[in-house]
Structure formats: structure tokens, C-alpha cells
Amino acid sequence: MERRSFHDEIGRNRRSSILLIVILTLIVVVLAATISYTFAPEYLIVVLLLSLIFMLAYSYGSYMYGDQVVLSATKARPADEREHLFLRDTVEGLSLAAGVPAPKVYVVPSEEVNAFATGRDPEHASVAVTTGLMSVLDREEMEGVLAHELSHIRNRDVSFMTLVAVLVGLAAILSHVIRRTYRFRGVSRGRRGGRRDRERGAGIEATILALGFFLAIFAPLLTRMVQFAISRQREYLADASGVELTRYSGGLASALEKIMGHNRGEMDVSEAVSHLFFVDPNRSALDSLYATHPPIDERIKRLKAM
């Protein structure tokens, strides 16, 4: 694998994230256009407004209070000033290098080697590490993992992924509306069965409605796959940004190598928050398709090429 600087890697993964979110936005736009063509204008406005209000309210709640939910769900407790002095000092030093306020530091009781960052913005952020991470990793490896997590904070990944979740949710709602519309139109046309209805179903209308029906079926799956792909790109970006902070890729690569041999992927963590972690806390047979994290060996390969 050709060597590249962490600046090149950061630029590459940012471009990939932007491309994927553009694709996600286009899917939502096409679904909305299909509804616009199918519904009467007055119904379109009501449906879209209700969908938007619901998704914004849901996302606002997740954005504002999601960090407390995550910390509570993982049984995280504040790091002790004396017992976890190195951990707290390392977070403060890396925060200074990253140009962000030092986040609150928590410890999660688990033998697995893992960590996560949460919070709606750098001013309201928290970083948590497992007890297993502190006992298994050495100083350089721990510093690499913490730099990765602070990069998530600096890159505002929580805000970015909240936007992605809004688009995925809108796509799901619009797809449901379109499927229900097709059922209604099918019954309506079956009752009338007139020549005018058959003629009106031809040409451009049939093409648009066929496209809308296709997207209504597959959009929920496609948008989720794009969401997972964006999550994987943000992990690559945090790896490269973490190297930018420490100026040393070996620590993070070594940490990942130890995790491959140590972790069993059996943390008691909900799938709803698993994307926040440094490595996937839960492994499954479908990880290659639905994984929120890139393969660890691929992350190591990229780090060693920096």
C-alpha cells in the first residue's frame, strides 16, 4: 500500500463523507418529488411538514440529551482525580493540541478494550474508556486511542451523524407514505377501471411512479447502508486526525493490533450506541455489510501507510 500523509488521508475521508451524504440527500429529494407528483399539493405540504417536524423533534432530543443516555446505558462513572490521573492528564494535553475544551472523562467497567466520545459539541463533550483499555494498553497506545476520540469531538461527528440520521428517518417516512399511496391508488383504479385511467397511467407519469415505487421499497435499506458507510468513513477520518494530533501512527496501530487479539465483541451495549465506540463492541455475521466500523486490519494497514 502506497504511503500517504495524514493530511491526504483526512482530505480523502472528508470527500468520501460528503459524497455519501450527497447521495443520501438525493434519495430523499427523489422520494419527495415522487410524493409531489402523486399527491395533491395541499396534502403534500401537510405530509412533508409533519414528517419534518417529527424528525427534527426526535433529532433535537437525541442531539441535546443523547450523551447522558449513552453514559447511563454504558454504566460510565466519572474518572477519579487520583486513580485515573494519567488518563485525565492525557485527555487535557490532547485537547490542548486539538484546540478544543477538555471534555469530561468517564470510565466504563468492562474488560473489553474500548472507548467512545459523545456530546453535542466540543463545549459539552465527554470521553469514556473501559477499565480493560487502561489495563491492556501502554501509554502510547492509550494516547493514540484518546486522540482518535478527541478527533471525533473536534470534527463534530455527533452533529454530522445526527444530520445523517435525520435524512435516513425522512427517507423511511417518505417511503412509507409512497407505499401507502400506491395501495390506495391501486384500489381506486381497480374500481374505476376506465379507459381514461389507463391512458393517464402511460408515459411520463408511469415512469415517475415506477421510479418512486422502486425507491419506496429499497430506500430504507439503501439509506441505512449509506449511513453505515458514512460512519465507517468518519472512523477512518478520526484515525487520520488522531495521528495528526500525536504525530505518531504506531501507537494507534499497535492499540488496534492488541484489540484484535483481546476483544471478544461481547460488550453489554445496545446496537443503538455501538457506532460511538472506538471499535465495534458487538460482533455479528452481518458486520461486512452493516458494520458501523471499518475492518480493524484495514485500519491498521492505513495507519502503517501514513
For 140, the enclosing helix (H) or strand (E) is helix 139-154
- Residue 127's φ and ψ, nearest 5 degrees, are -125, 135
Instruction: Read off the DSSP letter of residue 282.
Output: B
199 a catalytic residue? no
User: How far apart are the two ends of the chain, measured CA to CA in Å?
Assistant: 10
Please give, one letter per residue, the 3-state secondary structure of 173-222.
HHHHHHHHHHHHHHHHHHHHCCHHHHHHCCHHHHHHHHHHHHHHHHHHHH
Distance CA 178, CA 127 (A): 41
CA-to-CA separations, 34 to 41, 168, 179, 259, in angstroms, rounded: 12, 17, 11, 47
Please give, one letter per residue, the 3-state secondary structure of 52-78.
HHHHHHHHHHHHHHHHHHHHHHCCCEE
Q: Which residue has the cell 408515459?
A: 203
Distance CA 209, CA 204 (A): 9
Q: Per DSSP, which regions of 32-133 are E strands?
A: 77-78, 104-108, 115-118, 126-130
One of 9, 141, 143, 149 is an active-site residue; which one? 149
Q: Yes or no: say if 116 and 276 are a contact pair by the CB < 8 Å rule.
A: yes
Distance CA 250, CA 198 (A): 67
Which positions are catalytic? 149
